[in-house]
């Protein structure tokens, strides 16, 4: 496999929806990536509040079948065929799914220990979880896998907890279906950098 630099991976990482379930790397390698992501990513006060769940094979397909069943009840009948096609061809068609959670018990422990920052810990835990999402996504890209990030929570939260006996304190944040890419993503519009980047070298105005 071609050696990729950090920026090669960052630039190549895109939302990939055209996936199939042909294996690209061993499942053990994906498990290793998930473990390394959890081990090395930062968290507020080293709370390690992010949790991951990997779904392969029948578990992966069951997640998206469950999601379809719930959406069928919530989606207007005329719109459901398009929703079903997207679920089946963009997510269920892949090889697996990563579920990202925040453990509320870890957040609550920080709130009790550091009351001065209590109102911020829930937000900071989401920041940490987002970093885990990006690194996992980039690492899958580096292995030749395509992925996208989905948010069918809170619609599916309770059903997922019951299906796989997920701890009650784990709050579902996002779902990342992945697999072998079978089509390249389209072009992406990027705003001018000068509208988004400010560089200053003066001391600014004293108030």
16, 185 Cβ separation under 8 angstroms:
yes
Identify whether 203 is part of a domain.
no
Q: Which domain holds residue 58?
A: 6-195
Question: For the chain, what is the domain count?
Answer: 1
50, 102 Cβ separation under 8 angstroms:
yes
Identify whether 31 is part of a domain.
yes
Q: What is the DSSP string of 130-149?
A: HHHHHHHHHHHHHTT-EE--
Structure tokens at 121: 């810990």
Does position 25 have pLDDT exceeding 70, yes or no?
yes
98, 175 Cβ separation under 8 angstroms:
yes
How would you classify residue 188: left for phi > 0, otherwise alpha for psi between -120 and 50, otherwise beta? beta
Q: Distances in Å between the alpha carbon of 46 and those of 75, 160, 182?
A: 41, 27, 39
pLDDT digits (tens, 9 = 90+) for 116-150: 999 999 999 999 999 999 999 999 999 999 999 99
Rounded Cα gap, residues 55 and 31, in angstroms:
10
pLDDT digits (tens, 9 = 90+) for 56-87: 999 999 999 999 999 999 999 999 999 999 99
Q: Are strands 19-20 and 170-181 parallel, antiparallel or unpaired?
A: antiparallel
Among 93, 91, 125, residue whose Cα is nearest residue 107: 125
How would residue 26 be classed by pLDDT, with cut points 50, 70 and 90? very high
Instruction: State the average pLDDT over residues 2-15.
Output: 91
| Stated pTM of the model | 0.94
Does position 201 have pLDDT exceeding 80, yes or no?
yes
147, 137 Cβ separation under 8 angstroms:
yes
Identify whether 1 is part of a domain.
no
The tokens 């309770």 sit on which residue?
A: 158
Identify whether 85 is part of a domain.
yes
Identify whether 159 is part of a domain.
yes
Identify whether 47 is part of a domain.
yes
CATH of the domain at 178: 3.40.109.10
How would you classify residue 83: left for phi > 0, otherwise alpha for psi between -120 and 50, otherwise beta? alpha
> What percentage of the chain has pLDDT greater than the value 90?
95
The tally of CA atoms less than 13 A away on the side-chain side of residue 60 is 21
How would residue 50 be classed by pLDDT, with cut points 50, 70 and 90? very high
Identify whether 141 is part of a domain.
yes
How would residue 2 be classed by pLDDT, with cut points 50, 70 and 90? low
Identify whether 33 is part of a domain.
yes
């Amino acid at each position: 496999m071609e050696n990729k630099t950090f920026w090669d991976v960052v630039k190549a990482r895109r939302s990939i929806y055209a996936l199939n379930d042909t294996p690209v790397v061993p499942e053990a390698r994906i498990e290793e990536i998930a473990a390394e992501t959890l081990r090395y990513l930062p968290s507020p006060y080293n709370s390690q509040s992010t949790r991951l769940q990997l779904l392969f094979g029948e578990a992966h397909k069951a997640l998206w079948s469950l999601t379809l069943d719930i959406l069928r009840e919530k989606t207007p009948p005329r719109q459901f065929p398009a929703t079903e096609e997207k679920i089946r061809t963009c997510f269920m068609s892949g090889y697996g799914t990563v579920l990202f959670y925040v453990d509320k018990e870890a957040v609550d422990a920080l709130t009790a220990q550091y009351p001065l920052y209590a109102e911020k810990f829930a937000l900071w835990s989401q920041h940490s979880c987002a970093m885990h999402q990006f690194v996992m996504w980039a690492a899958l890209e580096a292995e030749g896998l395509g992925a996208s990030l989905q948010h069918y929570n809170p619609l599916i939260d309770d059903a997922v907890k019951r299906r796989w006996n997920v701890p009650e304190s784990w709050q579902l944040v996002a779902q990342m279906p992945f697999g072998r890419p079978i089509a390249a993503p389209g072009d992406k519009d990027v705003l001018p950098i000068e509208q988004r980047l400010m560089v200053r070298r003066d001391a600014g105005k004293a108030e």
